[in-house]
């Protein structure tokens, strides 16, 4: 099968287009990666032409031999649908999880996303803690969530609780909460280690003054999670723009009742009393 005819590639492109439509990908902002199922890699094998091995910049032995779809460094989400062969690639990892090679795409040159270490370290953690279920890692720059990183304390507790309160569906969509990484230089191993540490517990990590990383089993679930977090952040921005003080909200006991009815576990860490 041709790469561009494969269902998982079409879904990857549609998600990139949806992210662009949301306004989360100014210029070359953001990046997306997908860990292929063995049968998916097999289905497009005729078109794979491996290049030279290159260093990843970190070590992900838990992903040795895996194939990934990844957006390209410096490439624009705007162009993923229009110029797919120029905008993303399929890479293969070596037996040690230390090197990758491009097998398809980026026909005009270039490398996988500058955030490849973060993507792969998140994939390694998620593959392990979800027993292989999670396959998508998504990074974007949604304005409302970023705005909140200037006014909320940069703690998991503050972001989880404030976003849970803004929409009843939130504690059901991300019951495990949200992690926060303080401002760091992007692109390197440092921020990758901090993010993947949070991904052991959470499916969402906010990068202060930068954006969000999300993880999920498939494209719909991962995009939906990002969309839910950012929608909730938008409501909080609106509320805070009207008044510093809410007149009423969803309280700790309300969340405890919701947890019972919706059969989710909401960690008590996030159900603190406010003063």
9-48 residues in contact with ligand 2HA (CB under 6 A) are 28-31
Contact of residue 114 among ligand 2HA, Zn ion, none (CB under 5-8 Å per partner type): ligand 2HA
Backbone angles phi, psi at 25, to 5 degrees: -135, 55
Smallest gap from Cβ 139 to Zn ion, in A, equals 6
Contact of residue 28 among Zn ion, ligand 2HA, none (CB under 5-8 Å per partner type): ligand 2HA
Nearer to Zn ion, 96 or 209 (CB): 209
**Sheet hosting strand 211-216, strand order edge to edge:** 54-55, 99-105, 88-93, 67-71, 31-35, 136-140, 211-216, 204-207, 179-181
Pairing status of strand 136-140 against strand 31-35:
antiparallel
Flag whether 141 is marked binding.
yes
The pair of three-digit structure tokens given for residue 152, joined into one six-digit string: 């909320």
Q: Is 115 one of the catalytic residues?
A: yes
Identify the CA nearest to 92 among candidates 138, 144, 40, 139: 40
Q: Give the contact letters, 96-125, x = binds to ligand 2HA (CB under 6 A), - = no.
A: ------------------xx----------
What value, to the nearest 5°, has the Cα angle with vertex 261 and ends 259 and 262?
65
Flag whether 123 is marked binding.
no
* C-alpha to C-alpha distance for 124 and 237, rounded to whole angstroms: 34
Identify the CA nearest to 236 among candidates 187, 178, 193, 176: 178
Q: How many residues bind ligand 2HA (CB under 6 A)?
A: 8
Q: Give the contact letters, 168-197, x = binds to ligand 2HA (CB under 6 A), - = no.
A: ------------------x-----------
* C-alpha to C-alpha distance for 194 and 134, rounded to whole angstroms: 19
Active-site option among 40, 92, 115, 230: 115
Site residues for ligand 2HA per CB under 6 A: 28-31, 114-115, 139, 186
Residue positions forming the annotated binding site = 139, 141, 210
Residues annotated as catalytic (active site), given as ranges: 115
Residue positions forming the annotated binding site for Zn(2+) = 139, 141, 210
Site residues for Zn ion per CB under 5 A: 211
């Amino acid at each position: 099968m041709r790469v561009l005819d494969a269902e998982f590639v079409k879904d990857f492109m549609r998600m990139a287009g949806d992210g662009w439509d949301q306004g989360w990908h100014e210029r070359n902002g953001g990046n997306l990666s997908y860990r292929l199922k063995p049968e998916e890699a097999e289905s497009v094998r005729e078109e794979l032409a491996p290049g030279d091995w290159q260093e990843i910049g970190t070590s992900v032995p838990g992903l040795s031999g895996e194939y990934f779809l990844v957006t390209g460094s410096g490439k624009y989400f705007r162009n993923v649908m229009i110029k797919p062969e120029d905008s993303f690639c399929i890479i293969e990892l070596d037996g040690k999880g230390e090197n990758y090679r491009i097998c398809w795409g980026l026909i005009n040159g270039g490398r996988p996303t500058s955030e490849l270490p973060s993507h792969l370290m998140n994939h390694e953690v998620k593959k392990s803690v979800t027993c292989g279920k999670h396959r998508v890692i998504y990074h974007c720059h949604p304005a409302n969530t970023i705005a909140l990183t200037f006014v909320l304390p940069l703690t998991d507790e503050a972001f989880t609780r404030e976003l849970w309160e803004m929409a009843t569906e939130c504690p059901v969509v991300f019951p495990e909460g949200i992690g926060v990484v303080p401002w760091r230089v992007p692109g390197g191993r440092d921020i990758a280690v901090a993010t993947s540490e949070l991904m052991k517990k959470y499916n969402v990590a906010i990068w202060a003054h930068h954006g969000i990383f999300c993880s999920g089993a498939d494209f719909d679930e991962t995009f939906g999670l990002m969309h839910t977090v950012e929608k909730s952040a938008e409501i909080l921005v609106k509320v805070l723009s009207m008044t510093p003080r809410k007149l009423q909200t969803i309280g700790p006991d309300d969340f405890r009742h919701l947890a019972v009815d919706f059969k989710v576990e909401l960690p008590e860490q996030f159900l603190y009393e406010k003063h």
